[in-house]
Amino acid sequence: MDLRPDPRLHRHQRGLPLVTPDALHQAILDLVREVSRTVILPRYQKLATHEVEAKAADDVVTIADHESEAMLAEGLAKIADVPIVGEEAAFADATVFGRLTGDCWIVDPLDGTRNFARGQPPFGILIAMAQGGVAHSGWIYDVLTERFCVAHAGKGAFVNGERVTARTTGEEKPVAAVSLLFMDMAKRDGVLAGIGDHYRLVDVPWCAAEQYPRLALGVNDLSLFERTLAWDHAAGALWLNEAGGKAARLDGSPYRVDEGDRTGLLGAANPALWEQMAQRLAELPD
């Protein structure tokens, strides 16, 4: 991967040796592999009942989520000593969200927990680094396949070290994966009625670590997300944009990690597809 050093990365090495992006990627890859090998894979399809807890409506958390987040937090602090915003830490203490306005790591320790708890793929690890509410670096790791997606702002998107350019499915009706779980019923019905004739609608994989790669690798053309929490989207939105696709708010504004519970995010394999879908959504009745 031929990337020149990025000065924004260097500022994050507080008291640590300066590192090149390649060295940073390798450190992240080593860490997520170790976390996967140590605490995630040993529990895959082997979770005891007491190791899965209800977290919220239609949401669960497992012992692997907690142990993965703890191990990632420890490892990331050694790479760059900036505040960490982990999904489980933020769920337990809402003040953690305040860290998103400054320099921080953003971590989803086990994205796709619903799938993992059911003993099925996909699931992965999402890590991003942000500054001033904007993600500038992101990593997406598929635990089972070891696919490793990397992006830095202005540097392009990579999969397993190879630069990628987003491509469409090429289907006559673009393939759209629409996340409905967090939409209220009235909005859900309106969205499906308004776009159903224009797209081939498919299920989402319940895993952003899988959905974002699908948008660039010719599997899906578009995806509409209702809930847009930072740990689910910081790395993926950056990676898709760097691949030449487009991820943005429905009004066209860039995705920011510090916008709290703001809803609505659209990703597409190219800007033209994004514009078409955004226009159709804007024309839906309130």
pLDDT band at 283 (very low <50, low <70, confident <90, very high): confident
184 within some domain:
yes
CATH classification of the domain holding 221 = 3.40.190.80
- Local confidence band at 1 (pLDDT 50, 70, 90 cut-offs): very low
Q: Are residues 56 and 155 in the same domain?
A: yes
One domain for residues 210 and 131: no
Q: Are residues 202 and 277 in the same domain?
A: yes
* Angle at alpha carbon of residue 256, lines to 252 and 257, rounded to 5°: 150
Is 76 annotated to bind a ligand? Reply is: no
Q: Pick the closest to residue 126 from 112, 137, 139 (CA basis).
A: 139
Return the pLDDT at 57: 67
- Does residue 186 share a domain with residue 119? no
The pTM (predicted TM-score) of the whole model is: 0.92
Q: What is the pLDDT of residues 8-17, one digit of tens each?
A: 444 443 433 3
Is 108 assigned a ligand-binding role in the annotation?
Answer: yes
- Among the listed residues 70, 51, 91, 55, the one whose alpha carbon sits nearest the alpha carbon of residue 231: 91
The answer as to whether 1 is a domain residue is no
Residues 70 and 158 occupy one common structural domain: yes
Q: What is the Cα–Cα distance from 166 to 218, expressed in whole angstroms?
A: 7
| Residue range of the domain that includes 14 | 7-163
Contact, 86 vs 73, CB < 8 A?
A: yes
How confident is the model over 42-94, as pLDDT tens digits? 999 999 999 999 987 678 999 999 999 999 999 999 999 999 999 999 999 99
In-domain check, residue 59: yes
Last residue of a domain, one of 129, 163, 197: 163
Asked if residue 239 is part of any domain, the answer here is: yes
Helix axes 185-195, 271-282, angle to 10 degrees: 120
145 shares a domain with 17: yes
Cα-to-chain-centroid distance, residue 122:
13
Number of domains comprising the chain: 2
Q: Is 232 annotated as a binding residue?
A: yes
Residue 28 Cα distances to 13, 105, 222, angstroms:
14, 12, 28
Residues 237 and 108 in one domain: no
Residues 184 and 270 placed together within one structural domain of the fold = yes
pLDDT digits (tens, 9 = 90+) for 118-145: 999 999 999 999 999 999 999 999 999 9
Strand runs labelled E in the chain:
52-56, 59-62, 84-86, 104-111, 124-131, 134-142, 148-152, 156-159, 162-164, 175-178, 200-202, 222-225, 246-248, 265-268
Coil/strand/helix, residue 109: strand
110 belongs to an annotated ligand binding site: yes
Neighbours of 216 (CB within 10 A): 28
